[in-house]
């Protein structure tokens, strides 16, 4: 198996709603790369824990109807093979896992995990940050300990 684990904190910015692979310090959520000599099957597992910078809904405050969430997805050679549901910001600290399989061709293989955080406002998603000009709190999310394990089974 190929494995990457990290205790280096990944900082997920609350000013964007896009899927993030790397943060401002070039830390990956999780990434495994290798070369497969034959085609085969990837069996992938990721688990990790995270903490919201601020939990706007935990105290039924002004954002109780607009919760902040974090979502994760796993990609193998650019194809989505697993995705977590929206994990809400109450409780402030939480953990989760994803599992996926992928039929892989021979050659270079890249498995990455991406994350994004946003607010749910009815049927819309918006930035988690309160005010685009605020420098005090961007309502980010910190992804702490995590591990990505990729097993390759040749045909």
DSSP codes of every residue in 24-42: TT--BSEEEEEEESS-EEE
Locate 55 and state its tokens. 């939990």
The band of 128, judged by pLDDT with boundaries at 50, 70 and 90, is: confident
pLDDT tens, position by position, 87-116? 777 677 889 999 999 999 999 999 999 999
Contacts of 58 (CB under 8 A, 6+ apart): 89, 90, 91, 92
**Residue with the larger pLDDT of the pair 10 and 125:** 10
pLDDT tens, position by position, 55-85? 656 555 555 677 788 899 999 999 999 999 8
Mean of pLDDT over the chain: 85
Contact 75, 114 (CB under 8 A): yes
pTM of the full structure: 0.86
**Residue with the larger pLDDT of the pair 34 and 60:** 34
The count of other CB atoms within 10 Å of the CB of residue 20 is 19
């Amino acid at each position: 198996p190929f494995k990457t684990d990290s205790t280096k904190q990944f900082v997920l910015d609350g000013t964007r709603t896009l899927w993030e692979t790397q943060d401002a310090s070039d830390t990956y959520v999780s990434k495994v790369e290798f070369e497969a000599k034959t085609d085969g099957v990837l069996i992938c597992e990721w688990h990790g824990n995270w903490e919201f910078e601020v939990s706007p809904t935990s105290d039924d405050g002004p954002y109780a109807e607009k919760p902040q969430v974090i979502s994760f997805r796993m990609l193998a050679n650019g194809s989505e093979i697993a995705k977590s549901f929206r994990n809400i910001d109450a409780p402030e600290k939480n953990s989760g896992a994803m599992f996926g399989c992928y039929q892989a061709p021979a050659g270079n293989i890249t498995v990455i995990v991406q994350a994004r955080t946003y607010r749910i406002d009815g049927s819309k998603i918006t930035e988690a940050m309160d005010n685009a000009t605020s420098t005090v709190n961007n309502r980010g999310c910190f992804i702490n300990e995590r591990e990505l394990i990729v097993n390759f089974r040749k045909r």
